[in-house]
Structure 1
């Protein structure tokens, strides 16, 4: 029997699955790690320990516990957090910790400089993306200016998935969807790297080769086989960013279909019939040639719930804390007894693009409980999600079908508040293992063993979260206060 291996590296955890050709998960494993915040506005991972070390750990554990022969694995697909920046030397060794995605806001000066020298309108027209903390181009320039000794030794600038693939195959490659986050150095019209907008800044020789997600870029080397327990010669696909693989895992394949991913961040992907140029959203070529995607995100979602757990629930066992906090939040009514929370604890991504935005909890008095505060945080994330959905609608791209995925879907308060606030039905599929399951499907697709529509059989819809009409007026009032609170606080933040 053939099997397919999928591994996804997230912000706080790596997950892996081994799946049959019918979509049956026959092995799974996970390993936690930490996001490092060496100073405010920075976010990092140790690529060797957190990315490759986790890949080796979960792969070896799955092979050992399942007894599956490595030779039965027909293809491997990886995904990981993105967009990230990792400089490596000529041997592919990391030269520093990886700079993470939009939660890392260190390159605001470089964003402002690009906008000034190139022109915001030119960047938007050429790259189809406004520059934000999600873009890797400004972070590459930050690296050149602030770590010149490292930049001088840099052979390639990789992201998380391309580093995993290099360790597996010794090939430097990145998929077009991931590259779409590399403004101003990637031109979607040409599907190519280019420095025409910023000549003389970053050598294009540092960029990995561009491929489509399901392209087989290489095969497991003998060295990688020895480390991982995999069979040498196993095909490895280009893979993609975790959120895109998560969208695949819930069957987002057609224009108008949208994924809402409840993870460390909220990340939203909608497939569109044509390229969308909307400065308040992100654009990238989709995983397959000729397809497009419009994306959006809230920078702190699961990260905010973990922060609240640390500061409000140190009396609870870590394994039980989030469950208990959610139970306490259920005892608080919609509207959290008058509290409004802004979830901008790591700045604001779409549609505000405000790296200096701050988190806030407004309306507190001595009667409020821990459950009220936790519910307010979840509702604040839901209100930020509503702001994004309104942006899609104003861009002429309202979703026709919404699929929800991620750990946050286990929170009844959070998922219901999102449907109530946004006014849409969220469909939930049977398997919630997420991006690594999508990676396994993409691997099977790459070698011709499944078709795109087979995800309906691999992962059928089993539940829906529909908006409750009784809460609409409450959440409309809350949304008005939510938007107003941001505007009031903005001029006075430090």
Structure 2
């Protein structure tokens, strides 16, 4: 049998065709546009996602027997607000995870409603990217659109809705809405009331591996698959990527180095950071996890190379960064191009180069960006360590992890080994694994991970380089506090 994994990303959807042994038979990527109507705003048309999936699956199945497709699982970009009216039409472009328009609403939730109340109701506090502040923004700024809302969902849930007609969401993705009682896995009716929405507008909740329905006959015919094809609830992209890298159960860790960057620490028990610098979310394996998320990770390198240096040859830009230069760069970079979430929660923060001199080179800037992202990820690691969590090693995935140089920097900035996987296909592979569980191929997510995830290589830290980066990191962590009061004045 075959399984389709969907990775509904920010810039493209990636579709995977996976056999019952976990082998990747085919992949298809279809891009779609992003809209930035105002500085700090980020939105997308859900119809573009729909078109990409419905046109991409037949392409994925070219040369394969579509009748053998048993299940579909989707991992998707989190937090995006998708709203439909009574005719199931999209009311407005989806407000995305990296959108910064909700600063006033975040201040209201954290200040007036109160962080302690939010943490009690949802195990988290408000961040600009979360869904609840977006609902408040829409109610205040687009009241006519807000009054038309019949259904509220997240990006990957819209795809599941198109496939099955079922209004559903899984616990991991719902955790990032600031509307879920994460510990008890149910909608917080008090939070819904604060945001002016009702339980009837919210999707039914499922575990990520549970089957929510089957593909509608007319959709299945267009895709070239059986109408009985099962669709599981799927997961938020980070939880799906963690499944795909085998970070399930107790004490696993994964770094995802994509458009955004995340640190993901899995647990069988619910737990939360008392300072709320890390998110406390449900996991796709039925447990929970702590997560730190930075808004701009590999996208920082893409921005520097594509938009500033006018090149897409990333490897060539890194060629001059030789081993003796590591840990000795005089330039620092704050990777806050879209503001920042974990652990500083500051929508006003901005990307910053500091320490440049007349002898600063092109490669110094590239190196500063790579190091700055690693330092910012370490900020979340430090929070986890302050909670007494031991992180002896970590998996790493995402587009940025394909750079050997960046992997070396990360291993030595964090001071722990990085594990590279034989099959690394991010959220799409995790989605396919969840579909396997839903279809009975494996009895649990843990069983699927044990059978399918294999470590291919490790990057070990070098003690001397780790010491140099320790000194650099201690300098890096002084920069943001020194500029924190300046950033709001630049808006």
Asked if TM exceeds 0.5, the reply is yes
- Say if 1:338 and 1:363, in contact at 8 Å, map to a contact too: yes
The question of 1:221 aligning with 2:216 is answered yes
Of 267-276 and 257-266, the range deviating more from structure 2: 267-276
Q: Find the residue that maps to 1:491 and give its secondary structure.
A: coil
- Say if 1:256 and 1:401, in contact at 8 Å, map to a contact too: no
Tell me what 2:34 maps to: 35
Q: Distance in 2 between matches of 1:227 and 1:438?
A: 25
The question of 1:68 aligning with 2:60 is answered no
Specify which of 49, 54, 57 is matched with residue 56 of structure 1.
54
Q: Distance in 2 between matches of 1:162 and 1:472?
A: 42
- Say if 2:263 and 2:381, in contact at 8 Å, map to a contact too: no
Specify which of 335, 339, 343 is matched with residue 347 of structure 1.
339
1:140 deviates by 1.0
Tell me what 1:193 maps to: 187
Q: Distance in 1 between matches of 2:69 and 2:364?
A: 48
Specify which of 117, 140, 143 is matched with residue 148 of structure 1.
143
1:57 deviates by 2.8
Q: Find the residue that maps to 2:75 and give its secondary structure.
A: strand
Q: Find the residue that maps to 1:295 and give its secondary structure.
A: strand
Question: Structure 1 residues 42, 393: CA separation in 2 closer, same or farther (over 3 Å shift)?
Answer: same
Specify which of 96, 106, 113 is matched with residue 108 of structure 2.
113
- Say if 1:214 and 1:238, in contact at 8 Å, map to a contact too: yes
Question: Structure 1 residues 33, 332: CA separation in 2 closer, same or farther (over 3 Å shift)?
Answer: farther
- Say if 1:337 and 1:368, in contact at 8 Å, map to a contact too: no
Question: Structure 1 residues 117, 363: CA separation in 2 closer, same or farther (over 3 Å shift)?
Answer: closer
Specify which of 367, 372, 383 is matched with residue 375 of structure 1.
367
Q: Find the residue that maps to 2:471 and give its secondary structure.
A: helix
1:182 deviates by 1.8
TM-score (structure 2 length as normaliser): 0.94
Of 443-452 and 373-382, the range deviating more from structure 2: 443-452
- Say if 1:256 and 1:400, in contact at 8 Å, map to a contact too: no
Q: Find the residue that maps to 2:30 and give its secondary structure.
A: strand
Tell me what 1:168 maps to: 163
1:376 deviates by 0.5
Tell me what 2:5 maps to: 6
Q: Distance in 2 between matches of 1:88 and 1:426?
A: 42
- Say if 1:350 and 1:388, in contact at 8 Å, map to a contact too: yes
Of 202-211 and 395-404, the range deviating more from structure 2: 395-404
1:158 deviates by 1.1
Q: In the comparison of the two structures, how many residue pairs are matched?
A: 483
- Say if 2:248 and 2:285, in contact at 8 Å, map to a contact too: no
Q: What are the equivalent positions in structure 2 for 1:478-493 lying under 5 Å apart?
A: 478-493=472-487
Q: Distance in 2 between matches of 1:434 and 1:63?
A: 20
The question of 1:397 aligning with 2:389 is answered yes
1:433-489 superposed Cα distances (whole Å, 9 cap, x missing partner): 221111111101111112433434423111111111121232122112211111111
1:223 deviates by 2.5
Q: Distance in 1 between matches of 2:86 and 2:105?
A: 27
Extract unaligned runs of 5+ from structure 2.
none
Tell me what 1:295 maps to: 291
- Say if 1:282 and 1:295, in contact at 8 Å, map to a contact too: yes
Tell me what 1:359 maps to: 351
Q: Find the residue that maps to 1:462 and give its secondary structure.
A: strand
Tell me what 1:285 maps to: 282
- Say if 2:192 and 2:199, in contact at 8 Å, map to a contact too: no
1:298-321 superposed Cα distances (whole Å, 9 cap, x missing partner): 11012111111223332x4x4xx2
The question of 1:87 aligning with 2:83 is answered yes
- Say if 2:258 and 2:298, in contact at 8 Å, map to a contact too: yes
- Say if 2:71 and 2:439, in contact at 8 Å, map to a contact too: yes
1:409-446 superposed Cα distances (whole Å, 9 cap, x missing partner): 11122111111011111111111222111111110111
- Say if 2:13 and 2:30, in contact at 8 Å, map to a contact too: yes
1:250 deviates by 0.9
Q: What are the equivalent positions in structure 2 for 1:176-187 lying under 5 Å apart?
A: 176-183=171-178, 185-187=179-181
- Say if 2:71 and 2:231, in contact at 8 Å, map to a contact too: yes
Question: Structure 1 residues 143, 271: CA separation in 2 closer, same or farther (over 3 Å shift)?
Answer: same
1:46 deviates by 1.5
Question: Structure 1 residues 198, 170: CA separation in 2 closer, same or farther (over 3 Å shift)?
Answer: closer
Question: Structure 1 residues 421, 5: CA separation in 2 closer, same or farther (over 3 Å shift)?
Answer: same
Q: CA RMSD in A?
A: 1.7
Q: Distance in 2 between matches of 1:311 and 1:288?
A: 39
Q: Distance in 2 between matches of 1:433 and 1:189?
A: 30
Q: Find the residue that maps to 1:180 and give its secondary structure.
A: helix
The question of 1:138 aligning with 2:133 is answered yes
1:197 deviates by 4.3
Runs of 4+ in 1 over 4 A off after TM superposition: none
Extract unaligned runs of 5+ from structure 1.
none
- Say if 1:3 and 1:19, in contact at 8 Å, map to a contact too: yes
- Say if 2:6 and 2:15, in contact at 8 Å, map to a contact too: yes
- Say if 2:329 and 2:367, in contact at 8 Å, map to a contact too: no
Q: Distance in 2 between matches of 1:204 and 1:107?
A: 23
TM-score (structure 1 length as normaliser): 0.94
Of 192-201 and 296-305, the range deviating more from structure 2: 192-201
- Say if 1:330 and 1:371, in contact at 8 Å, map to a contact too: no
Q: Distance in 1 between matches of 2:159 and 2:192?
A: 29
Q: Distance in 1 between matches of 2:433 and 2:320?
A: 38
1:159-196 superposed Cα distances (whole Å, 9 cap, x missing partner): 1111000000011000011111122x221243211232
Tell me what 1:462 maps to: 456
